[in-house]
Amino acid sequence: MTRTMKALVKAKAEPGLWMHEVPVPEIGPDDVLVKVTRTGICGTDLHIFKWDQWAQGAVPVPMTIGHEYSGTIAELGTNVTHLNLGQRVSGEGHVIGFKSRASRAGRFHLDPETKGVGVNLPGAFAEYVRIPAFNIVPLPDAVDDELASILDPLGNAVHTALAFDLVGEDVLITGAGPIGIMSAAVARHVGARHIVITDPNDNRLELAKKVEPSVVTVNTTEDLRALANSLGMTEGFDIGFEMSGAPAAMATLTEHLVMGGRIAMLGLPAKPFEYDFAKMVLKMLTIKGIYGREMFETWHKMLAMLQSGLEIRPVITNRFKAEDFETAFQSAIQGGAGKIVLEW
């Protein structure tokens, strides 16, 4: 008899999500089965919920969605000897291939065959999820299941923040979404001087202050130059994190960075946009695209920082039981909330 479980499924090619009873995934010799305890709702999940153009092109239907998870190991593949049943884990949601030059050189996050748990592989918004043992990250006691369910976006923040040396540098962050806010906390933890974050949404700026009280918040309608001057910065910011996906934010960073400034860009623009490359050239700016997390250096650094005083929990603003997913998704879509966690 096939065992079944509850799962949040993109069952139809139309807006919405459905809680269905589906078979528990079968694992292969190199996989583990994770019994899910907490999951985080991501912007990606909202795209899939709303069924926008990106989702229609990327997600085959039916598909169990969700890629931010924590739980315990319920089954081990026959080849898996380095993990234990019952062990508390989270893990990388990007499932890579091992054939490319990058992979074979150990630069796993640059593998071009990457597939996404909960996007084109069965996801974690379910009672159980199948994960390659390679992707599993065991959790230290200091990181509880709730915190562990947002390691994926914290990893995005850490990957972005550690792209350039921040010690003693002044940092401008565009976008106070959960990831931008967490990147501010990371920048403080690793020794930046001034950290300024911009957003058009005051609720988001308030949340940024709650998570990292030392961050200076500024609405995009306010005068950033005057603010920088008031902080004693005469030449501009040294480092920018683009965390919004908004074209206007790239213009802001280009304008307010010093000569030779560096931008780590995580924000995903919805479509191509106009950008003043002459300014970038004349200021000799570096722009580095950031995707996902480095496997597994970002995971190591992130867990180490959480064990040495990095505090980001207030970014979690709402908690729901999985069966109340409709309310949870509506809260997320309304905007202004931080991370929303579902309990399984």
Ligand X SMILES: NC(=O)c1ccc[n+]([C@@H]2O[C@H](COP(=O)([O-])OP(=O)(O)OC[C@H]3O[C@@H](n4cnc5c(N)ncnc54)[C@H](O)[C@@H]3O)[C@@H](O)[C@H]2O)c1
Which residues are identified as catalytic? 44, 47
291 binding partner (options Zn ion, ligand X, none; Cβ < 5 to 8 Å by kind): ligand X
Closest CA to 18 of 62, 69, 70: 62
Tokens representing 331 are 């809260």
Instruction: State which of positions 128-167 bind Zn ion (CB under 5 A).
Output: 152
Q: How far is the CB of 340 from ligand X (least distance, A)?
A: 11
**Minimum gap (Å) between residue 44 Cβ and Zn ion:** 5
Alpha-carbon Rg for the chain, nearest whole angstrom, is: 20
CA atoms in the 13 A half-sphere facing the CB of 308:
10
Residue 151 C-beta: closest distance to ligand X, Å: 13
List the one residue from 42, 76, 121, 266 that touches Zn ion (CB under 5 A): 42
Residue 191 and residue 168 in contact, taking contact as beta carbons nearer than 8 Å? yes
Q: Does 263 bind ligand X (CB under 6 A)?
A: no
Which residue, 268 or 304, is less far from ligand X as judged by CB?
Answer: 268
Distances (CA, A) of 168 to 189, 266, 298: 12, 22, 21
Residue closer to ligand X, measured from CB, 39 or 174: 174
Residue 198, binding choice from ligand X, Zn ion, none, Cβ under 5 to 8 Å by partner class: ligand X
Query: Binding to ligand X by residue 205, rule CB under 6 A?
Result: no
Helix (H, G, I), strand (E, B) or coil at 10: strand
Cβ atoms of 234 and 209 within 8 Å: the answer is no
Binding flag, residue 290, ligand X (CB under 6 A): yes
String of contacts with Zn ion for each residue 214-253, x by CB under 5 A: ----------------------------------------
Q: Which H helix or E strand runs over 319?
A: strand 316-321
* Burial class for 303, CB neighbours closer than 10 Å (0-12, 13-18, 19+): buried
Using rule CB under 6 A, residue 204 touches ligand X: yes
Q: Which lies closer to Zn ion via its Cβ, residue 124 or residue 246?
A: 124
- Binder to ligand X among 85, 142, 259, 268 (CB under 6 A)? 268
Q: Quickly list DSSP for 98-154.
A: S-SHHHHTT-GGG-TT-EEBTTTB--SSBSEEEEEGGGEEEPPTTS-HHHHTTHHHH
Minimum CB separation of residue 102 from Zn ion in Å reads 22
Q: Read off φ and ψ for residue 21, nearest 5 degrees.
A: -90, 115
Between 22 and 249, CB nearer to ligand X: 249
151 binds, among Zn ion, ligand X, none (CB under 5 to 8 A by kind): none
Determine if 174 is a binding residue for ligand X (CB under 6 A).
Answer: yes
Which of 70, 135, 198, 217 lies at the binding interface for ligand X (CB under 6 A)?
198
Site size for ligand X, by CB under 6 A? 27
Question: By CB under 6 A, is residue 183 in contact with ligand X?
Answer: no
246 binds ligand X per the rule CB under 6 A: yes
Stretch that binds ligand X, among 8-16, 97-105, 119-127, 171-179 (CB under 6 A): 171-179
- Given a contact cutoff of 8 angstroms between Cβ atoms, the answer to whether 20 and 68 are in contact is no
Please say whether the beta carbons of 140 and 307 come within 8 A: yes
Which runs of consecutive H residues, i.e. helices, occur in 190-324? Answer: 202-211, 224-230, 247-256, 277-282, 297-307
CA distances to 30, 94, 123 from 66, rounded to whole Å, are 21, 12, 5
The stretch among 18-26, 164-172, 173-181, 301-309 that binds ligand X (CB under 6 A) is: 173-181
Distance CA 166, CA 177 (A): 21
Question: Where on the chain is the footprint of ligand X (CB under 6 A)?
Answer: 43, 156, 174-180, 198-201, 204, 220, 243-246, 248-249, 266-268, 290-292
Question: Where on the chain is the footprint of Zn ion (CB under 5 A)?
Answer: 42, 68, 152
